[in-house]
Structure 1
Amino acid sequence: MAHCNVHSPHDDVNLGPSANPHAKPTDFDFLAVIGKGTFGKVLLAKLKATKKFYAVKVLQKKVILKKKEQKNIMAERNVLLKSLQHPFLVRLHYSFQTAEKLYFVLDYVNGGELFFHLQRERCFTEPRARFYTAEVASAIGYLHSLNIVYRDLKPENILLDAQGHVVLTDFGLCKEGVEPEGTTSTFCGTPEPPFYSRDVGEMYDAILHKTLVLPAGKSEAVCSLLKALLHKDPHRRLGAIADFLEVKNHPFFSAINWDDIFHKRIPPPYNPNVRGPADTQHIDPEFTRENVSNSVSRTPEFNASFNANNAFKGFSYVANEENFL
């Protein structure tokens, strides 16, 4: 069996002053599976040298190449690099690769998926929903200012941090370089709510043509916001003309001070009460039950002679840690 070498970063990649060109999986103790996706898993890991905890996203190169997804993976990395300056976007500390896998070393955000909390509580009050929506809108507005379109917004991709603030993750379906008036033609994302049908064709038809029916007992402001965001005609949808500014000025957010939102001066409506930096109480047991060793061990059927390096040229990255102090 061929030895699995850790490849050095390419000469043409500037990794910054705190670069560690020899980062490797054995730098970490992998403690638990905390998420799963098409191309790999997300693991809670402790960096042995510093005892700090991170979420490490481990992606299989062969699966990515088989599905011709390397563009999306590189787009995810590029968006992570541009997201350093925003409080509600997950931060990338560094990335590295082995012969078989790509590794993103990210913040471990352990307040749980919004999906997990919504499932447990079934419905949020309007003030709580307003808080989360405002923080998410702030993050999306920032991405749009960088001409990046986030195309898979759903409760599974919105995490809560230890204090209960929002953190947006999973930039695999982001599209870079979209001009303010531009659109994308790719069919992607998660189509289900609020027009779910087991018949997929029927569901797509409902998304395009069916009238939105909102449950009773909601305020006029929230109904107005939802109708405006889900308008069938994209040219008449809220945000179509002045983007985030239109969302900020909607009556649903009249009580929100956007500067206070950005600077986290508004206390979160719910505190996850995590017990420490390695707490997994809010992570779905479906993930944490999994065996960690299966996720990080070498893939035996991988063809060692297959050179995937060029497909991911420039992937390795190390952030200047001064940004995070």
Structure 2
Amino acid sequence: MDKSKNLSDASEDEDDKNSSASGNINLGPSANPQAKPTDFDFLKVIGKGSFGKVLLAKRKLDGKYYAIKVLQKRVIVHRREQKHIMAERNVLLKNVKHPFLVGLHYSFQTTDKLYFVLDFVNGGELFFHLQRERTFPEPRAKFYIAEMASALGYLHSLNIVYRDLKPENILLDYQGHVVLTDFGLCKEGISLAETTTTFCGTPEYLAPEVLRKQPYDNTVDWWCLGSVLYEMLYGLPPFYSRDTHEMYDNILHKALLMRPGASSQAWSILQGLLEKDRTRRLGSADDFNEIKTHSFFSSVNWGDLEQKKIRPPFIPHVVTFPAENQSLYCGGVSIHGSGQLAFVKFLCICYLCNQVLETRMI
């Protein structure tokens, strides 16, 4: 499956006529209103996307490393993305503190830019690890799904629906634990009994009720969780087709076919999560409590999991931080300068490559 892309780069000079509208975007007060760009040494661009860049930065005060997302206000206004940008900021600042969710440390702004100072997480996107290995053994998939479910359950407890769970938005830290990022499609104010109708998400992972433009609730996240589990076990999302219309039809009408290679408990939870009727879907009655008590997770100690006491099944070989005189290496090929920018994907946190990275002195 080809990775969905959104890499159209906005020029620094494009649409100057919108610059006057930049003032319409206001982050409001930061958790630390004293934070400002000059508090950081910006070391290297590690991502570039439609609205700006992500830079690896070191805070001068204590030498800590962060990923700083720098967004151009005028480009956001031109593309009418203020709602998604502010949704991300609002969720990140809603006292969201969970071991498997990316942390926002500061947010501040200048006349023409927005700054989000985020955790620098350097274990790579789950997508790239899965792309390299094709599938994961069931115990490894179970570990990741358990951590994702814990994060989703926490968001739901705050009446936040994530809505865009997919391997590209799931990162690994240096220890191998899951970190969910990219809150631009999150919907706030959705309790267990409430619904919304906004059509959004990534095609491969859209729930049937979203495709039908019917009211939906936090059970869309459990559908996505099932889709990601299926992909980790079998290499593709459950109803995938290169033809988008055929894929939509599959999601709406095609039965989930049993395939060899997974345990009966895995198939049971897949059938529950990928139930097309959201009112009968696993998690529809008691949300995360239903998920974590399923037999698939019988071996999981949830307290230990959330305290990161369970050793991850895979530990990435990570770049702690790239120094000024280091070049990135992937598959024996040196990547530097503009080549690095073309090689990365812009997310809430951006990562350096689609394979395990090494650093070498040049």
Please state which band the TM-score falls in when normalised by the shorter chain.
0.7 to 0.9
- Per the alignment, residue 5 of structure 2 pairs with none
Find the aligned partners of 1:270 and 1:294 in 2 and give their Cα distance: 27
Equivalent position amino acid for 2:308 in 1: K
Counterparts in 2 of 1:29 and 1:285: CA distance versus 1, 3 Å:
farther
Distance 2:121 2:148 in 1: 15
| Partner residue in 2 for 1:162 | 174
Q: Determine if the alignment matches structure 1 residue 114 to structure 2 residue 126.
A: yes
User: Superposed, which structure 2 residues align to 1:59-78 within 5 Å?
Assistant: 59-78=71-90
Equivalent residue runs for 1:71-86 within 5 Å = 71-86=83-98
- CA distance in 2 between partners of 1:11 and 1:215 (Å): 50
Q: Is the 8 A contact 1:110 1:283 kept in 2?
A: no
Are residue 233 (structure 1) and residue 277 (structure 2) matched? yes
Question: CA, structure 1 residues 292+162, in 2 after alignment: closer, same or farther (shift >3 Å)?
Answer: same
Stretch deviating more after TM superposition (191-200 or 216-225):
191-200
2:320 matched to which residue of 1?
Answer: 276
How many angstroms does 1:14 deviate by?
Answer: 4.7
Identity of aligned residues (%): 59
1:20 to 34, 41, 53: 34
Instruction: After TM superposition, give the deviation of residue 291 of structure 1 in Å.
Output: 3.2
- Distance 1:163-1:226 versus aligned 2 partners, 3 A rule: same
Structure 1, unpaired ranges of 5+: 296-325
Residues 1:173 and 2:213 aligned together: no
User: What is the SS of the residue equivalent to 2:93?
Assistant: helix
Q: Name the aligned partner's letter for residue 32 of structure 1.
A: V
Q: What is the TM-score when the length of structure 1 is the normalising length?
A: 0.78
| Match in the other structure for 1:142 | 154
Alignment correspondent of 1:291? 338
The worse-fitting range, judged by mean Cα deviation, of 139-148 and 77-86 is 77-86
Number of aligned residues: 287
Q: CA deviation at 1:226?
A: 1.2
Q: Does 1:29 align with 2:42?
A: yes
Conservation of the 8 A alpha-carbon contact between 1:83 and 1:89: no
Distance change (3 Å), C-alpha of 1:293 and 1:278: closer
1:92 corresponds to? 104
Check whether the contact 1:116–1:284 (CA below 8 A) recurs between aligned residues.
no
CA gap of 1:239–1:284, structure 2 versus 1, over 3 A, is farther
State whether residues 274 and 281 of structure 1, in contact with CA within 8 Å, keep that contact through their aligned partners in structure 2: no
**Deviations 1:86-142 (Å, cap 9, x if unpaired)?**
111101011122233211110000011111111111111111111111111000000
Distance 2:340 2:143 in 1: 39
User: Greater shift after overlay, 164-173 or 210-219?
Assistant: 210-219
| Deviation per residue, 1:259-307 (Å, 9 max, x gap) | 1111111111111133534499799999x75639999xxxxxxxxxxxx
User: Structure 2, unaligned stretches of length 5 or more?
Assistant: 1-12, 205-236, 343-362
For residues 264 and 65 of structure 1, what CA distance do their matches in structure 2 show? Answer: 40
For residues 50 and 175 of structure 2, the distance between their equivalents in structure 1, rounded to whole angstroms, comes to 29
1:211 and 2:252 are equivalent in the alignment: no
Pick which of 62-71 and 118-127 moved more: 62-71
Query: RCO greater where, 1 or 2, for CA within 8 Å and sep 6 or more?
Result: 1
Question: CA–CA distance in 2 between the matches of 1:282 and 1:229?
Answer: 39
Residue deviations 1:156-185, cap 9 Å, x none?
111111111111100000000012122221
Q: Secondary structure at the match of 1:225?
A: helix
Cα deviation for residue 222 of structure 1 reads: 0.8
| Cα 1:37/1:216, change in 2 over 3 Å | farther
Indicate conservation of the 8 Å contact 2:122/2:319, yes or no. Answer: no
Answer yes or no: is 1:189 the counterpart of 2:201.
Answer: yes
In structure 1, distance between residues paired with 2:332 and 2:185: 26
